[in-house]
Structure 1
């Protein structure tokens, strides 16, 4: 484990994720009137569910005060994006994608950064000269759900390095390391050379780590590639791709793995591994 890994604290990662969310998501959200009826329905349902848990499990004041203290510390640590993305987002994505006809999606997670450098359809993700890890050739085609190719489709791609760290969220890593926006060719095809990422722990030195330890859970995410795939006239697909036989694929802490998202790389003739995976996008309804 490198010195960089040791310095990637939960507080630093949480603060970065919170700042990104406030800057990117809030700014991008359309200005619209809040539907008070929906707020009433959802807020009442959540509060009622908490009441039911307290009653059915006969929670004590000591347990209530421990929860209250923990909720305060989540905010102080800047870990609300981490908590929500790890334990809540996969259900939001499931509901939002219920009618999708094309490829499967999954959670975005807290480490997406817009504006990654544009790259050609056959390219290598930006990386350090001595980037550790097994080389991976990742290729495929972007089509519409009806099978027609989507020329110039965009694939925003980001991933952890071999230490499980993300550029812009851990110290000592170049700004756009293992991040890029690939522009597919006139048939929607792409071929990206990168490295095969490793599994990693979500930060455990903050409030989320305390919850994991107290509940006897594990903090690991399986190795994965992140992608946002988009094309004019089609819904954007946000997804993650995992690796067959990899650690934690069967028990991801974020519950984000789906069978359709598991890759099965094969050894490449030029060294490393290679895999083909195609994306089908739903037309905008």
Structure 2
């Protein structure tokens, strides 16, 4: 991949793509709204904001800076990025607090549905000579009672060796490092791919200005994204990280959990690494 491609992966382009993906998902979903629930949540949000203003004696200059920044977030199309990085991990925590099976974490802004369907042992679509350490990711999908789930689907997507996602950065094939693997009759699967790299969230837009103003870093650790599902069971959305990887302990999105850290080992023959990780799904 060329430096030009990396430079062109701007916050504006990434934000526009993430916003359109979110709008597509909303158009396909329900629009029913419980007015009492909206009243409760918005009233509490405003009350918390008022308390912050009083507690910290917010000045008009700071208030105007906030208004300007909020306007720019919308203009830059970065609301999906902002919410997914700094808010979604708590929504996920609450939504899944009663699960008995595998741990989940945030979806993030870079999911695209309907990736190519692949057999139980498959290689994710990738370019010839795709850079990165070869990785065999294998395991079983089963129910909480231990039953292997035949035909379970494992959607996987992840960044490349430059930290870029297909459909969110120019120059990448449409489905690069994205696929939906269908497990075998026992729920077993084997996915051949390459290890992703850590990456910075885009910093040339409004989220980057917030990060700079607060003195934070903008890095996410290397991770695999997955959505795992089977008939009669709850879908799990998760990310898996790599033991000892950069920023596993200080992920800007606060999405890392101990149960989600992989520890791959060298393959017995050839080059690359392999790891086994099973998914346990709750009944619907």
Tell me the alpha carbon deviations over residues 51-102 of structure 1, each in whole angstroms, 9 at most, x when there is no partner.
Answer: 0000000010000000000000000000000000000000000000010000
Please report how far the alpha carbon of residue 9 of structure 1 lies from its aligned counterpart in structure 2 after TM superposition. Answer: 0.3
Separation of aligned partners in 1, 2:146 and 2:27 = 34
| Counterpart residue number, 1:200 | 199
| Counterpart residue number, 1:282 | 282
Query: How much is the aligned-residue C-alpha RMSD, in angstroms?
Result: 0.7
Structure 1 spans left out of the alignment, 5+ residues: none
| Counterpart residue number, 2:117 | 118
Please report how far the alpha carbon of residue 31 of structure 1 lies from its aligned counterpart in structure 2 after TM superposition. Answer: 4.1
Please report how far the alpha carbon of residue 28 of structure 1 lies from its aligned counterpart in structure 2 after TM superposition. Answer: 2.5
| 3-state SS in 2 of match to 1:240 | strand
| 3-state SS in 2 of match to 1:69 | helix
| Counterpart residue number, 1:135 | 134
| Counterpart residue number, 2:146 | 147
- Going from structure 1 to structure 2, the CA distance change for 1:47 and 1:115 (only over 3 Å counts) comes to same
Please report how far the alpha carbon of residue 130 of structure 1 lies from its aligned counterpart in structure 2 after TM superposition. Answer: 1.3
TM-score (norm 1): 0.98
| 3-state SS in 2 of match to 1:50 | helix
Separation of aligned partners in 1, 2:76 and 2:129 = 33
| 3-state SS in 2 of match to 1:20 | helix
Equivalent residue runs for 1:169-248 within 5 Å: 169-248=168-247
| Counterpart residue number, 1:51 | 50
| Counterpart residue number, 1:7 | 8
| 3-state SS in 2 of match to 1:228 | strand
Separation of aligned partners in 2, 1:111 and 1:72 = 23
Structure 2 spans left out of the alignment, 5+ residues: none
| 3-state SS in 2 of match to 1:65 | helix
Aligned residue pairs total 282
| Counterpart residue number, 2:87 | 88
Tell me the alpha carbon deviations over residues 227-267 of structure 1, each in whole angstroms, 9 at most, x when there is no partner.
Answer: 00000000000000000000000000000000000000001
Runs of 4+ residues over 3 Å off in structure 1: none
TM-score (norm 2): 0.98
